[in-house]
Amino acid sequence: MRLPNASALVAAIAFGFCAISMLSSGDLHFDSASFAREISMRWRGILFFSTIFAFGGWWTARTWQKFWRYGRSKWERAVYDSGVRGYGFIMAVSLIFIISWLGWTADAGALFGPMMSLGTLAGIFFGVPVGLHLGYIWGSGFAVIANAEHDKKLEIGEPPCSP
């Protein structure tokens, strides 16, 4: 996620996963005439939802690059280490499992059915940034309670990769 073009790469991966998942669901047969007819009927929906998932992939990579860091000051340790890397990560993983479980129940218990697959993708590409943002908010509140001073001079430049 620290690559310079990670946002575009993750957006393209999200677009592809969504398109493949939508194409593989339903009664789609892969002979040339049937496949071309199905694509011509479904292309608007595939493009629409894949674009939404591409935005979610871009948002996930941008959030990860911005928030996934180790703190240097007392405020940064409270916000990034405890908030984002602690609470936010647990929240992101929980959202992935909850949304996947909801998709699994919608598929009547079919493991990795179409709704569970799309739910897992939605959990990854939308649950991770939401969870990390919630961790940032939680960590910021914790830093205020702990009276940690926010020194904006320490946050200039690239975030540190290791403690």
Domain chopping of the chain, boundaries:
6-155
pTM score over 0.75:
yes
- 8 Å CB contact between 53 and 18: yes
pLDDT reported for residue 158 = 61
pLDDT reported for residue 55 = 95
Give the pair of three-digit tokens for residue 33.
């005439």
Pick from 36-40, 69-73, 147-151, 158-162: least confident = 158-162
